[in-house]
Chain A
Amino acid sequence: MGLPFQYLSRLGRGTLFCAAKGCSIQTFDLTASPQFLFSWTHPSLKQAEETHEGLVEGEQRGQPPPSKRRKLSSNDIDSIVGIDDKQKTPDTPAGEKKSQKKGKTKWTPPKPELPFVVLLTATKDGSHVIAITGQDKILWVFEHDGKGLLKEVSRRAMPKRPCSLALAADEQTIFSADKFGDVYGLPLIPQPEASLVSTSAPVVSRPLRGANVFTVHSQRNRRALEDQQRQREANAKRDVPKEGPKFAHEVLLGHVSMLTCVLTTHDAQNRPYIVTADRDEHIRVSRGMPQSHIIEVYCLGHTSFVNALCNPRYRSDILISGGGDNKLFVWDWLAGKLLGTVDLLSHVRKILPDTTKIAVIKLIAYEAENECFVVVICERVPALFIFQLQTDNAILHKETLKLRGSALDITSLCAAERTLLVAVDVAGSDGEVLAFERDGQNWVSRQHIQGNANADEEPVLSREDLDKVLYTAENLRKTEHDEGGDEALVETPEQS
């Protein structure tokens, strides 16, 4: 079985676009024949050869991708053995998390996870493509020659898995929002000085001393302290601060929650802002660089996770948000004011009558005949929902376009936005992108773009495993039973 396309991005203002399929990125030209232009595959899926250009380049920068891989080159096997020998020194990202959790020093091979391309975006002129592969947390930058050819420029292993990407207005800075709640700013093209020390990386604290005889308050704890001191010496080696990435990066802001979406926008005076959404129902509006530490306002009202934001180009004063709630929200984002909501669940029910909860995965806006429209896709729902944003900020359902399978991603093409591209998960297909053409205000399905299956580079996954990779939004929903061991009635240890 082939893999579906899971992520789309336009390439410039023409008819070119790129699409992520498993661990590959393929480029297409909608008007050319053949449409398929080029394919890039994550090097770990290729039979890695020492001479492979990308690999050598990466190694020189000192950031080889971590080695939780399926197919292993001799290089990788070496590095795993290396980890085992060194008992987790801080600069071996592979498997670190797992072993720390269990407090074991023995290497246990983690369940093989593939470096799927989880995020994909391009600069407006299409000259650069930025991609994230999830498993190894690498941020890739490619140069695009304008004809579909992608050339790797840099690879940077991020500290945590990025969940959303945005570009600053000048497109020279990438904003990467991660699972840990932080937004990093990194230059699109890394500076050649490889030994750059990050400017505002978390402040390094002095060596740890922990509790002392002044800070414990009972006999029993004093005894415990002695034990701890012995233990601490043993632990000291393990508890070294995790080294930050060696490339230029700056923490711009952070939530104590998983981030789901970041976007950049500007106000009427053209001052930049960064809008971030998280799993705890928050939408935060911060000033843009260099004042990203100033929170202007919050847009509060969601009662479930926020997963998608949309700031129409023609109505940049408006923000539309969706996620685990049954409705879409329309905001005056600079004032933090809710302007209105519109029900989405009832429209989903017309496609899937048994639906009780929905997870919006993407919102995009387009303009047609001076009217602003918003297209919504929801996880595991085979349809596009189109809403019209009226001048009085009311938002109305306009039409629903049915699809053959669940929509995974959506984007618009061309400057005039006359084309909509939808990645559809059709069982048994080799990846399918559907193109809709606008005829007046209506969308007409025009063509199917089939993926280019390269059997050698395509991993084989069971449907179940594939679903786990493709459908992750619903996992953001909070469950009722989450209290865990925290609330156990254990006597307070008096030591702080």
Chain B
Amino acid sequence: MRRMAEQLNKKQKRAHYRQAQKENGISALPRKKFYRQRAHANVFSDHQLVYPKSPAHMDWTTYFPAFVADTDPITTAQPAETSLSNATNLYPRKLTKEVEVVDIGCGFGGLLVALAPALPDTLILGMEIRTSVAEYVQHRIAALRTQNPGTDLYQNISCLRANTMKFLPNFFRKGQLTKAFICFPDPHFKHRKHKARIVSTTLNSEYAYALRPGGIVYTITDVEDLHNWMVQHLETHPIFERISEEEQEADPCVEIMKTETEESKKVGRNKGQKFVALFRRLEDPPW
């Protein structure tokens, strides 16, 4: 009973907070405690996900308003609807550049915020399956943009709610990405749950599809077993090769990944271990 009362209370506080936020605008950074959500989401269930039919149908303009192309919406005739009326389809407005970096399972967005000034000319997208956590990141980015008026700071990052294990190809066309970060993923310890891990032989083919040759998958975890699993699965995949230690340490993104994600800060506070591994997407073999 007490638990229930507490929860109800929490819910009310959350509602009040959201209401206040709506009224006062989004100049202040959101507070994490009002966005907490159970750490695990079932990647196999349908949820109520919103995703585009195909990358061409994705409207990025609300995510990256500073990069909207100044052209009018492009009216492209869809393939003729045979034996139906010749309906035309309105593709969404385009951006001046495409998203090239993704943080798969971005959590509370620490990496995004740190990468924004480090890769100022690149559009970076965080993808998170938990609704309220994704919402937190969106509010956080909105607040950061308002706090830095007149600059381009934080205009190049955004976040959306998505199940990347199912719908990555709905958002990105073949070879669109240059970097994909997989930071502190859910370890799914039980053998029975291993199919739910974000790195697997069969899923790696999808990462290979979205990444262009030369693109890099960044992985970091505090769970040694999971690290070994990710290394094993990415190394044995013919399209990926592991990047050498020297090259890895020379990559400025690695330092950011090791220190700036929320999870890595937590692990750092507890003096935990961090295991890093980078993989390069190779050219497709001759066919």
Residues of A in contact with B (beta carbons under 8 Å apart): 100, 180-182, 200, 202-203, 205-206, 208-211, 214-217, 239-242, 251, 253-257, 271, 280-282, 284, 286-287, 291, 293-295, 297-298, 300-303, 337-343, 394-397, 478-480, 482-484, 486-496
> Judging by beta carbons under 8 Å apart, are A294 and B208 in contact?
yes
> Judging by beta carbons under 8 Å apart, are B53 and A394 in contact?
no
Q: Please indicate the chain B residues that have their CB under 8 angstroms from the CB of A241 in the complex.
A: 191
> Judging by beta carbons under 8 Å apart, are A482 and B46 in contact?
yes
> Judging by beta carbons under 8 Å apart, are B228 and A206 in contact?
yes
> Judging by beta carbons under 8 Å apart, are B223 and A492 in contact?
no
Task: State which of A251, A302, A479, A492 has its C-beta within 8 Å of the C-beta of B36.
Answer: A492
Q: List 22 A-B contacts (CB under 8 A).
A: A100-B192, A180-B195, A203-B233, A208-B225, A209-B225, A210-B189, A215-B223, A256-B44, A257-B166, A271-B287, A280-B167, A291-B287, A294-B205, A294-B239, A394-B80, A480-B48, A489-B36, A490-B38, A491-B10, A492-B36, A493-B39, A496-B222
> Judging by beta carbons under 8 Å apart, are B191 and A239 in contact?
yes
Cα distance, A47 to B2, chains bound together (Å): 60
> Judging by beta carbons under 8 Å apart, are A239 and B224 in contact?
no
Cα distance, A394 to B208, chains bound together (Å): 34
Chain A interface secondary structure, helix, strand, loop or mixed? Answer: loop
Interface residues in B184-211 (C-beta closer than 8 Å to A):
184, 186-187, 189-192, 194-195, 200-206, 208-209
Of chain A, the residue at the smallest CB distance from B87 is: A341
> Judging by beta carbons under 8 Å apart, are B82 and A496 in contact?
no
Would you call B88 an interface residue if the criterion is a C-beta within 8 Å of the partner chain's C-beta atoms?
A: no
Would you call B284 an interface residue if the criterion is a C-beta within 8 Å of the partner chain's C-beta atoms?
A: yes
> Judging by beta carbons under 8 Å apart, are A301 and B80 in contact?
no
Cα distance, A302 to B167, chains bound together (Å): 13
> Judging by beta carbons under 8 Å apart, are B267 and A206 in contact?
no
Q: Identify the stretch in B68-76, B144-152, B248-256, B269-277 within 8 Å (CB) of chain A at 4 or more residues.
A: B269-277
Of chain A, the residue at the smallest CB distance from B48 is: A483
User: How near does chain B come to A467, taking the closest CB pair, in angstroms?
Assistant: 24
Cα distance, A492 to B269, chains bound together (Å): 18
Which 8 A-B residue pairings sit nearest by Cβ, starting from the closest?
A254-B202, A300-B54, A214-B272, A394-B82, A295-B209, A256-B165, A482-B46, A241-B191
> Known: A214-B270, A253-B202, A482-B48. Is A492-B225 also a contact (CB below 8 A)?
no
Q: Please indicate the chain A residues that have their CB under 8 angstroms from the CB of B48 in the complex.
A: 480, 482-483
Cα distance, A174 to B80, chains bound together (Å): 37
User: How near does chain B come to A78, taking the closest CB pair, in angstroms?
Assistant: 27
User: How near does chain A come to B187, taking the closest CB pair, in angstroms?
Assistant: 6
Interface residues in B205-234 (C-beta closer than 8 Å to A):
205-206, 208-209, 222-225, 228-229, 232-233
> Known: A241-B191, A298-B169, A339-B79. Is A254-B269 also a contact (CB below 8 A)?
no
Q: Please indicate the chain A residues that have their CB under 8 angstroms from the CB of B267 in the complex.
A: 214-215, 217
Other than the given A294-B285, A480-B48, A496-B39, 5 more pairs (CB < 8 A) read A205-B225, A282-B169, A294-B284, A486-B42, A489-B10
Of chain A, the residue at the smallest CB distance from B84 is: A343
Would you call B263 an interface residue if the criterion is a C-beta within 8 Å of the partner chain's C-beta atoms?
A: yes
Q: Please indicate the chain A residues that have their CB under 8 angstroms from the CB of B42 in the complex.
A: 484, 486
Q: Please indicate the chain B residues that have their CB under 8 angstroms from the CB of A395 in the complex.
A: 82-83
Of chain B, the residue at the smallest CB distance from A389 is: B82
User: How near does chain A come to B280, taking the closest CB pair, in angstroms?
Assistant: 16
Of chain A, the residue at the smallest CB distance from B191 is: A241
User: How near does chain A come to B196, taking the closest CB pair, in angstroms?
Assistant: 9
Task: State which of A182, A281, A297, A487 has its C-beta within 8 Å of the C-beta of B174.
Answer: A297
Cα distance, A294 to B209, chains bound together (Å): 8
> Judging by beta carbons under 8 Å apart, are B46 and A217 in contact?
no
Cα distance, A291 to B74, chains bound together (Å): 38
